[in-house]
Amino acid sequence: IESALREVPEKADAHFNLGIAYTLKEDMAQAIRSYQRAIEIDQHYGKAFYNLGTLYLKQGNIQEAILKLEQAAKLLPDPMKALWNLYEAYRSDGLFTKALANLQRLIELEPDDASLYNHLGICYVKLGDYAKAIGAWKRSIKLGASSQLIHYNLGKTYELYGEFSNA
């Protein structure tokens, strides 16, 4: 790939592919530079924004992850993975209102995904809306979620909401 780039240095795809190669080699600094170069060449390269944002998220660079993943979610034709990672970034930064909005967008795309409703419940609890959290966890269970943790979260939220008999 590096040889090809010497021949055609302004090819965004080549820089993107080099970023993947460096990611696989676990050379994150070089991977980041390669994805950044792909974006410099093509500011609409959604996959490069996604990979770069995901690398930043893994490194704990949450602010940069959010910026890149927001761009990826706008640019990718199928933004599911970008939206999920963006949710993780918002949640990591304590931005639960944004995390909630992002989850709602994910649910529009995947309305029958029980795990999304579990995370929705978590966001509602963090925002102090226990009634909506209870509704989210009930929906998750109705969709087939069988995790004991969801049942625990539901019971604990009933307790917080003052509905002790339901807890």
| Mean predicted confidence (pLDDT) in 78-107 | 96
Tell me the pLDDT tens digit for each residue of 132-166: 999 999 999 999 888 898 999 999 999 999 999 99
Which tokens in the block code for residue 49?
A: 């924004």
pTM higher than 0.85: yes
**pLDDT for 7:** 83
Tell me the pLDDT tens digit for each residue of 14-64: 999 999 999 999 999 999 999 999 999 999 999 999 999 999 999 999 999
Measuring CA to CA, which residue among 74, 57, 56, 19 is closest to residue 41?
19
